[in-house]
């Protein structure tokens, strides 16, 4: 498994794909952004996944962990595979 995908948490409810891309593109080429929406409200949930073209970009983006983004202190980690439920 490659480590070119990061997990973002504690995102502001006003976040958009565009804002995420503008903020994280400084670390490298972004190939995908997944920003789940709440089914009831249509607002973004407090987390997202950003996939970079390479692992080095994702590693550089980890420097944003604990930093302010849209007035929230965000969590930035390398994304891991979700464990399957039995």
pLDDT tens sequence across 22-32: 999 999 999 99
pLDDT tens sequence across 54-69: 999 999 999 999 999 9
Q: If you count DSSP H runs as helices and E runs as strands, how many of each does the chain have, helices first?
A: 2, 6
Is pLDDT larger for residue 1 or for residue 27? 27
State residue 64's pLDDT score: 97
Burial class, 3, CB count within 10 angstroms (exposed 0-12 / middle 13-18 / buried 19+) = middle
Global pTM value:
0.91
**What letters, b where the CB count within 10 A reaches 16 and e where it falls short, cover 11-45?**
beeebeeebbeebbeebbebeebebeeeeeeeebe
- Write down all domains in the chain, each with its CATH number in brackets: 5-78 (3.30.70.330)
Q: Residue 4: name the closest of 37, 35, 27 by CA.
A: 27
């Amino acid at each position: 498994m490659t480590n070119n995908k990061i997990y973002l948490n504690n995102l502001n409810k006003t976040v958009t794909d565009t804002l995420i891309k503008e903020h994280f593109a400084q670390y490298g080429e972004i190939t995908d952004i997944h920003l789940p929406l709440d089914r009831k409200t249509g607002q973004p949930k407090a987390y997202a996944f950003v996939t970079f073209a390479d692992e080095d970009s994702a590693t550089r983006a980890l420097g944003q962990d604990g930093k302010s983004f849209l007035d929230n202190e965000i969590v930035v980690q390398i994304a891991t595979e979700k464990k399957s439920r039995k």
